[in-house]
Structure 1
């Protein structure tokens, strides 16, 4: 009996939890729009009245990629400077920055990581407006923050985060639009479109066969798509253990492109809009090097690649990441299953990390 067959016998239900939680995403998105949006807008209005001059975002892992997405939203839609914090400067080094008139947003699925709690406490002590975005209203992080947004994803049991990630993205989008009193109608179609993407699972399962024996992957994008590339790489690494390296398209051209050849698989997330336009020179270089290129994007971009997944059209660029990640979550799942592993319980991972 092969090792793969042995795993199948030992774990006949492997992957069922992650699979079920990915399938919940349309319902979660619908819940946020119907039940969460009013309270998110109310929190945004209170914070907007205090007119923070800049924003810092704090997170780990998957939530760090959601925070990066929020950074793009804040800088593009609000015109405010935004940055990702280095928590160790306060939790390990004891730094005491002046955070008056600063909004500190801490994003965490569990809200239980001690370093996130300590960092948020330090930020509030330093004069910051503090906002926790979590999937647990009763968490320690929510308790120490001045404001809280519940992403309403429900319990997530699989170690790889899926539904909490897209829930965080939508909650952060609604919050940022709320800060400027903007129109959130571009999000209204997301639940139905997410269901349409999930219903094309067989397409992803076929694509997954390309990467079953891959030794490494490169994932690239620009603009709003870059957090998607980072999250996709994380999902693939933590489930299938394939080294997946995410690069901004601009960074890929500054040296790492040299490691790409005709046997090095590359996945490109190509948004419709300015991010996708900025990625075109990178795609030309990749095609010129004969790269095995898979594109997540529109039909034209997919048609010019070795393979790909066509995303729904007519979606505003700032909310496309909520759909872009779903076929890549499915890809991570299908590759992992094809390799005889269990995506529900990757080795050496835990839901709540304890770092300083």
Structure 2
């Protein structure tokens, strides 16, 4: 019997992403707008976001959107204050958004239930509308990614980003029409797999990696680091560019691989001093960004971001980095479909 090629599920799910993005825009967007409109009418005073793992990085993206677009104070929940310590904060008129692919993690369910009991307006953004999380939240938003079988989340991450973008746009009274270009651009990026495969050879024997960005690109750096760690077991540290300059830069030298996500916009502008310092230290610098940003690096992947608002670029930025994690894992003899010691649903409490 022929053994199935390692990583087949992850590869197939990465390839599904343009279709998932189209489904969200064509089928999911009206429901997302309706839900956002009902919540906006209740005028929440600030926002709390709750998530784990890949969904935590999507929630961080939503934090940037909420603070920049709506001017809403926004924080990330410390779930253990409720689930382990039994704290019961007053969340009257607070919007509590929980992001979870499976909707089955007990700590997310418990935290959302407690938030609703404490007076919050609770929303579950999940890929499983029949999940325990969806059942305890007041509102439910379906990311419509379809079943995801590979342990490394790929299509549910980009689905989360687009769904959260449409949700925040709906809170602002916007229809999110600027996202219409994303599926076609995603297809163009994913068609460049051979290019990523050649780039992956640089990191086959990497002992560690550093990833950095600023602004809307920072959640991409965190998610890419997670993908590299869970598929290839490479210790990958992610930092905001500002934080990287406050000490961690000392560990970067001319044999240290650094991946920088350079957004085409204010986040990329804010990252320029960091890139200069990295080049000054002789870092092996890999850039994901526009052609100009890539030209000044040791290697890179040029994104077709011309005309794409900076707040939507994370949906595209992560795609070559998902492919990179996949290709590095295969080159190192791993199976990215089944990382050791990992489960699809995290059973933390």
Bin for the TM-score computed over the shorter chain: over 0.9
Alignment of 1:76-91 (within 5 A): 76-91=68-83
Q: CA deviation at 1:185?
A: 1.8
The question of 1:116 aligning with 2:113 is answered: no
Q: CA deviation at 1:213?
A: 0.2
The question of 1:322 aligning with 2:315 is answered: yes
Which residue pairs with 2:342 in the alignment? 349
Question: Residues of 2 paired with 1:257 and 1:12: CA distance?
Answer: 42
The question of 1:333 aligning with 2:326 is answered: yes
Which residue pairs with 1:241 in the alignment? 233
Q: CA deviation at 1:186?
A: 1.5
Is the 2:161–2:315 Cα contact (8 Å) retained in structure 1?
yes
The question of 1:184 aligning with 2:176 is answered: yes
Q: Which runs of 5+ in 1 are unaligned?
A: 1-8
Which segments of structure 1 move beyond 3 Å, counting only runs of 4 or more? 9-12
Which residue pairs with 2:216 in the alignment? 224
Which residue pairs with 1:285 in the alignment? 277
CA deviations 1:38-68 (Å, max 9, x no partner) are 0000000000000000000000000000000
Match of 1:37 among 19, 29, 45: 29
Question: Residues of 1 paired with 2:156 and 2:112: CA distance?
Answer: 21
CA deviations 1:231-273 (Å, max 9, x no partner) are 0000000000000000000000000000000000000000000
The question of 1:136 aligning with 2:163 is answered: no
Which residue pairs with 1:254 in the alignment? 246
Alignment of 1:262-281 (within 5 A): 262-281=254-273
Which residue pairs with 1:60 in the alignment? 52
Change (3 A) 1:231 1:115: same
Is the 2:208–2:235 Cα contact (8 Å) retained in structure 1?
yes
Three-state SS of the structure 1 residue aligned to 2:44 is: coil
Match of 2:149 among 153, 157, 174: 157
Question: Residues of 1 paired with 2:50 and 2:141: CA distance?
Answer: 15
- Count of matched residue pairs: 348
Which residue pairs with 1:5 in the alignment? none
Which residue pairs with 1:127 in the alignment? 119
Q: CA deviation at 1:10?
A: 9.4
RMSD after superposition: 1.0
Is the 2:259–2:285 Cα contact (8 Å) retained in structure 1?
yes
Which residue pairs with 1:173 in the alignment? 165
Q: TM-score, normalised by structure 1?
A: 0.97
Three-state SS of the structure 1 residue aligned to 2:34 is: helix
Three-state SS of the structure 2 residue aligned to 1:213 is: coil
Q: TM-score, normalised by structure 2?
A: 0.99
